[in-house]
Each structure stands twice: as C-alpha cells, then as structure tokens.
Copies of this chain bind each other. A is one copy, B any other.
Amino acid sequence: MQQIPGGVCAAQGFSAGGAHCGLKKVKPDLALIVSAVPAAAAATYTKNVVQAAPLHVTKRHLADGMLSAVIVNSGNANACAPDGEANAFAMCASAAEALGLAAEQVAVSSTGVIGVSMTPKMPLVQNGIASLAESLTADAAGSDAAAKAIMTTDLTQKEMAVQLTLGGKTVHLGGIAKGSGMIHPNMGTMLCFLTTDAAIAPALLSRALGLAVERSFNRISVDGDSSTNDFCLIMANGLAGNAEICEENADYAAFLAALTDICVYLAREIAADGEGATHLITCTVKGAPDEEIATTIARSVISSSLVKSAVFGKDANWGRILCAMGYAGVNFDPERVSVSFASEAGEVPVCKNGRGLSFDEELALKVLTPHEVEICIDMAQGNAESTCWGCDLTYEYVRINGEYRS
C-alpha cells in the first residue's frame, strides 16, 4: 500500500470539481464527484434522530446499492427547513440531467446552517450544478476543488489516496472529507466521500465501510455534537479490473486495511482541524478487557471539556483523565490504571496504579507543547486496546460558535 496524490480522482474513471453558486458569499459551495460507469456504493449516516432531507433522498437512491455520482453543497444544511426533500431531489435531478443520468443514480449531501430554506436559492443552485457538471476533471485539481467546496469552518482541506495490489491489479482508493465542528463519535460525524476502482460486491463494500468508519470517524470528537447531516459515502466502480471481491478473502482484508487507513487519516485531520483547536489529542487505551471498553474510555477522555481545556493550557492535569474514565459508563478497577503524556518532545508518566507520580513539571510542559500530544492509558486489566482522537478546547472554539450564524 502506497500513498499517492489525486484524492477522489486517484481511482480510474472518477472525475470531480467544485464551484461557487451563491449559497455562501464568496467561497465555493458546490462539489460534484462522478464515476464514468455505474459504481457499487455504500454509506453510513448520522445516528441523530433529526436527519437532514438529503439523507432521506440519498437512502432511497442507494437502495439498489449502485450510484454514478454525488452532488454536495455547503452553506446550507437543508435540515429542518421547508421543502427539504423536494429541493434535495431537485439537486440530484439537475446533476443527472447535466450528466445524462437518472436522478436515482445520484446521491446528495449538504452541510451548513440548519433550519434555513434552500428554496429561494434553488435557481442559483440548479444553474450552478449545470455549469459545474461541464467543468469536471479527472485529476488532482478536480479532487482539490471538490475538497475545498465542501468546507465550512474547516481551516484545512482533507484529502488522501493510496494504491494497493489486489490479485496482480493496481487498485486505487481515495477520499475527501470535511468537518471541524459538531464532531462526535457515532457516524456520521462529518462528510466523507470515498472512491475506488476496485471491483467489490455492494454487500462487502458496505461491510468494509462500516468497519472502517467504526475505527476512524466514530473515534473522534470535537465538541460532542453529532450533526443532522453527517454522512460517509463510498463508490467502487470496478475499473481496476481485479477479480470482484465477493467474499471475505485476502483481497477483502487488504482492501479493508487500505480503507481503514484512509478513514483514520481523514478522521485525524478532522480532529486536528477541530474548531479553534491548537492541539490534536490522541488517546490510546491498552490493557483493557475488550476493545469496546477501551474505545468507550478513550472516547470519554477525549470528549471531556476539562481534559480538553487542560491540554489547551499545557497542564498535565491527569486527575481529570481518571475522572473522565470513571464516568465513561463502564466498570473497571481504577487502582490498576497508569497514565502518561507523550509527544515528539518525550514522555512523562504521571500516574501509576491509580496514584499520582511525582514528575518534572518542566518536562511535562515540554511534552505538552507540540501540536500533537498523546494520552497513554494502561488499564492493566486485559489485552485489548483502542485509540480515539480529539482536540483541545480553546477561546477560539467559543468565538467561532458564538458568532456562527451572524
């Protein structure tokens, strides 16, 4: 497996692009990704009870496990707004018309403010989609443009691609993602669009996506809020010519590993770009009775406002880590827990067997200064482990979210 450029256009037969239609003032707000041939497709959706209209439309269009394109807008979530499904379907229809497809071959996804009707801007959106469909390219520039157009408060563009060999054939797999607020475990926590030229049956594609998402996007948290719109989609068009993956064989395992790697990369990028964040926090829990307990505890730690504020202040306040472990909702023996902080600047053990260690405060400050810091927990009560990612809580988060609508 090897990292390559190209994002969602790295796989054969995919083209993409982005444009500005007027949902936002100046920045690009429309993205389109198209496969030259119908692709097997699978998706995961937010578990929020309040789901945006585009998700309902997409679920219907994905019922047969096949798609040819996905149209995405930023600047309006099309959630809790009048005529939401009609407008979401109209976006699919506009893309389909421009691309010579049926509307049912197109998925739709939106991100932005909740509760504002798209209706007044639908003429702009539909014109924008028509011209965007003319300007797609099958190269890195196309993927870049799409990655930029799905951003909201994101500061960084999130894009990744790899190639691997399946049965002697070179297969490509790439993706773009967005998200920096309303980010919390439990799919979806953001938008992510993945493409591959691997041949894989829809049922296995869906299984692989579920597992990869479980170990990546469902293990990050920015602020504990799962959005109404979150969505992760993969399209696999089979143009690589590998023998179609129809069972859980070695090819499936290799594909799953590559997919998980890409999702973890993009998930970490989202956590690092958390609104106002100055630190990417990685929490690893080992020595757990099982992986679910390890994940639950790691997630609780990276979700704690007090832990997040402490990391912002470069304060090795490990008591808050034990506290967050304690209210995670799983039972364990705190008397066996050890904790250390680590980063490129070194490692500092701060707690052993549930009791504080005396440690060098200057070293701790040094360890907590780099952008990426790790909280390492050893529960010493089993052999399972898990990793979750989050970010610190800063003044800037409050500023961004106190002013978002205005």
Is there contact, CB below 8 Å, between A223 and B305?
yes
Taking the full assembly, how many copies of this chain does it contain? 2
User: How distant is the Cα of A320 from the Cα of B319 in the complex, in angstroms?
Assistant: 31
Considering the complex, which residues of chain A in the window 188-241 have a beta carbon less than 8 Å from any beta carbon of chain B? 223-228
Contact with B along A251-276 (1 / 0, CB 8 A): 00000000000000000000000000
Q: Does any Cβ of B come within 8 Å of A35's Cβ?
A: no
Q: Name A383-406 residues within 8 Å CB distance of B.
A: 393-395, 397-406
A356 near B305 with CB under 8 A, answer no
- Chain A binding surface, main DSSP class: loop
Known A-B contacts A305-B225, A326-B228; the reply to A398 vs B401 at CB < 8 A is no
Size bracket of the A interface: 35 or more
B334–A49 touching, CB < 8 Å: yes
User: Do residues B404 and A315 form an inter-chain contact, with CB atoms below 8 A?
Assistant: yes
Q: Select from chain B the residue with minimum beta-carbon distance to A228.
A: B323
B403→A315 contact, CB < 8 A? yes
Q: Which residues of B contact A184 (CB under 8 A)?
A: 327
Distance A82 CA – B325 CA, assembled complex (angstroms): 19
Contacts of A317 in B (CB 8 A): 404-405
Flag if B49 contacts A401 (CB, 8 Å). Answer: no
Assembly CA distance A186 to B326 (angstroms): 13
Is there an interface contact between B115 and A402, defined as CB atoms closer than 8 Å?
A: no
A193 to chain B, nearest CB (A): 22
